[in-house]
Amino acid sequence: MSETLREIEELTQAGYEYGFSTDLDTDIAPPGLTEDTVRLISAKKSEPDWLLDWRLKAFEAWQSMEEPDWAKLDIKPIDYQALSYWAAPKPKPILGSMDDVDPEIRDMFDKLGIPLHEQKMLSNVAIDAIVDSVSVTTTFKKTLAEAGVVFCSFSEAVQDHPELVREHLGSVVPVRDNFFAALNSAVFSDGSFCYIPAGVRCPMELSTYFRINSMNTGQFERTLIVAEDDSHVSYLEGCTAPQRDENQLHAAVVELVAKDRAEIKYSTVQNWYPGDENGVGGIYNFVTKRGRAHTDAKISWTQVETGSAITWKYPSVILQGDRSIGEFYSVALSSNRQQADTGSKMIHIGADTTSSIISKGISAGHGQNTYRGLVKVMRSAQNARNYTQCDSLLLGKECGAHTIPYIEVKNPSAQVEHEASTSTVGEDQLYYCRQRGMTEEDAMSMIVNGFCREVFDELPMEFAVEAQRLLSVSLEGSVG
């Protein structure tokens, strides 16, 4: 037994393979956050006045707000004045072709396994590559434009489609929503924008790849996806960061708007640097993700969270239209000293709305994993249904799993189900696999992947393979 525990320690202390940093010529603002900082960011991006005003309103709101402290997270104080709020790779002279991406940036993405050459990349996935909160390139733009799909950096969208941005920005996550969303609204530097016209089924998967590179900078991206009536889009998001001893702040906002009968599927594989085995360094990940589903629309969140020192994230769906559907599938792994407080909110407003939440938490080492979820059924939501299932897997003795479901029902016709389980990987399961010839590590990885199966099944193919691999790497040595 103690042998097993020792092995768990070893396995959970496996290296982080994306920890390299790239020497990019970067334009960084001095640390500090004042109204002038907000004006500087807006000016750098030549934004229209309405957007500057919006940012200033958010900044004013943020100043009067306090950091939330209700999560089960032990966080060192964050000095918001010590951070720099603007970092962008300086553009190299333009070469005038699709290869006009800085070769160093291209090499960095190659190293991450995300080739930005259209010929080399995964077929059928368009990628918006974001370094230090600024979009460096978007691929397959032409193919998408032919289908009428707009997929570009947020800054481009502000210039090229101001009316769309203005209509929807903040419509799902208002500037005063919470401390981190207000901060993001004030200082966000870039992000992705996606617009699917009515009746269009997006011809390829859309993907944003986030890479934090600079030191001591906060990362604030904003993603806005608008799917018009009867449209369909599948969106993927991946994240990595260099290995550094300082904690870095990442506070993103994602807003999804699914109009009547539209469907948005949003998948995340989050692998920000988690810090070392003593809890030094790592990303603080405070993310607000929310979607609004209109009549007969469907929004589905799938997330695999293996990185970050701190994860504070509750992808949510406002089920506004009748018969709208919200789904949340999550795998969250906390090993070493990682802490995750994550879950979902499903707000039922329309009649006959349904939501499901499938959450799989894995804790190893000294990791702490909390599922926190809210299912709210408003008076108007006749015949609302929710099914929630929270499973926790404990690997070792020092880790923790916590499940905190909130249920608020104001309409007696609602059907709300909650199931929860906590288990460990059994010695007998490991022995059985080893008797069949598998090594202890392979057996562990197989059993844990089996535990996550329902969630992985929701991921697009390439992502599912990546997620399984990531989980195996993150668990390397943590046999139990």
Among 407, 420, 433, 473, binds another protein (CB under 8 A): 433
| Nearest in space to 79 (alpha carbons), one of 255, 299, 248 | 248
For position 432 contacting another protein by CB under 8 A, the verdict is yes
For position 5 contacting another protein by CB under 8 A, the verdict is no
Taking the complex as a whole, the smallest distance from the CB of residue 433 to another protein amounts, in Å, to 8
User: How far is residue 226's CA from residue 297's CA, in Å, rounded to a whole number?
Assistant: 12
Taking the complex as a whole, the smallest distance from the CB of residue 3 to another protein amounts, in Å, to 8
Which residue has 């089924």 as its token pair? 201
For position 98 contacting another protein by CB under 8 A, the verdict is no
Among 426, 463, 471, 479, binds another protein (CB under 8 A): 426
For position 2 contacting another protein by CB under 8 A, the verdict is no
| Nearest in space to 176 (alpha carbons), one of 167, 189, 185, 187 | 185
Taking the complex as a whole, the smallest distance from the CB of residue 439 to another protein amounts, in Å, to 6
Interface stretch with another protein, choices 59-67, 115-123, 235-243, 426-434 (CB under 8 A): 426-434
Q: Which is nearer to another protein, 76 or 453 (CB)?
A: 453
For position 428 contacting another protein by CB under 8 A, the verdict is yes
Q: Is the dihedral of CA 109, 114, 115, 116 positive or negative?
A: negative
User: How far is residue 373's CA from residue 32's CA, in Å, rounded to a whole number?
Assistant: 34
Q: Which tokens sit at 374?
A: 């809210």
User: How far is residue 313's CA from residue 322's CA, in Å, rounded to a whole number?
Assistant: 26
- Sequence-ordered list of residues with C-beta below 8 angstroms from that of 227, at least 6 positions apart, any chain: 196, 233, 256, 257, 258, 259, 262, 263, 264, 297
- The dihedral region occupied by 238, where left means phi > 0, alpha psi between -120 and 50, and beta the remainder, is beta
Interface stretch with another protein, choices 24-32, 131-139, 221-229, 444-452 (CB under 8 A): 444-452
Among 201, 379, 434, 469, binds another protein (CB under 8 A): 434
For position 424 contacting another protein by CB under 8 A, the verdict is no
Residues 308-347 touching another protein, rule: CB under 8 A, are none
**Contact by Cβ (8 Å): 300, 265:** yes
Q: What letter would DSSP give residue 97?
A: S
Residues 43-72 touching another protein, rule: CB under 8 A, are none
**Contact by Cβ (8 Å): 392, 358:** no
Among 40, 429, 462, 473, binds another protein (CB under 8 A): 429
Residues 213-232 touching another protein, rule: CB under 8 A, are none
Q: Which is nearer to another protein, 153 or 302 (CB)?
A: 302
The neighbouring-strand residues paired with 250 are 219, 285
For position 439 contacting another protein by CB under 8 A, the verdict is yes
User: How far is residue 57's CA from residue 37's CA, in Å, rounded to a whole number?
Assistant: 14
Q: Which is nearer to another protein, 97 or 435 (CB)?
A: 435
Taking the complex as a whole, the smallest distance from the CB of residue 123 to another protein amounts, in Å, to 22
For position 20 contacting another protein by CB under 8 A, the verdict is no
Q: At what angle do helices 440-451 and 427-435 cross, to 10 degrees?
A: 120
User: How far is residue 310's CA from residue 270's CA, in Å, rounded to a whole number?
Assistant: 12
Q: At what angle do helices 2-12 and 440-451 cross, to 10 degrees?
A: 70
For position 446 contacting another protein by CB under 8 A, the verdict is yes
Give the distance between the most distant pair of CA atoms in the chain: 68
Q: Which is nearer to another protein, 314 or 451 (CB)?
A: 451
For position 438 contacting another protein by CB under 8 A, the verdict is yes
Interface stretch with another protein, choices 126-134, 146-154, 312-320, 423-431 (CB under 8 A): 423-431
Among 440, 463, 466, 469, binds another protein (CB under 8 A): 440
Q: Which is nearer to another protein, 52 or 433 (CB)?
A: 433
| Nearest in space to 17 (alpha carbons), one of 465, 473, 367 | 473
Taking the complex as a whole, the smallest distance from the CB of residue 367 to another protein amounts, in Å, to 21
Taking the complex as a whole, the smallest distance from the CB of residue 447 to another protein amounts, in Å, to 6
Quote the strand ranges of 247-381, DSSP E: 247-250, 253-258, 263-270, 282-293, 298-305, 310-313, 316-319, 325-334, 339-342, 345-348, 354-364, 368-377
Task: Give the three-state DSSP class for 54.
Answer: helix
Among 447, 459, 464, 475, binds another protein (CB under 8 A): 447
For position 93 contacting another protein by CB under 8 A, the verdict is no
Site string for another protein, 453-472 (x = CB under 8 A): xx------------------
Q: Which tokens sit at 136?
A: 């460096």
Taking the complex as a whole, the smallest distance from the CB of residue 307 to another protein amounts, in Å, to 23
Instruction: Quickly count: other Cβ atoms within 10 Å of residue 469's Cβ.
Output: 12
Instruction: Quickly count: other Cβ atoms within 10 Å of residue 24's Cβ.
Output: 19
Q: At what angle do helices 2-12 and 461-475 cross, to 10 degrees?
A: 130
Taking the complex as a whole, the smallest distance from the CB of residue 339 to another protein amounts, in Å, to 26
Among 193, 210, 451, 463, binds another protein (CB under 8 A): 451
Q: Which is nearer to another protein, 54 or 451 (CB)?
A: 451
Taking the complex as a whole, the smallest distance from the CB of residue 358 to another protein amounts, in Å, to 12
- Binding site residues, another protein, CB under 8 A: 3, 426, 428-429, 431-440, 442, 446-447, 449-454
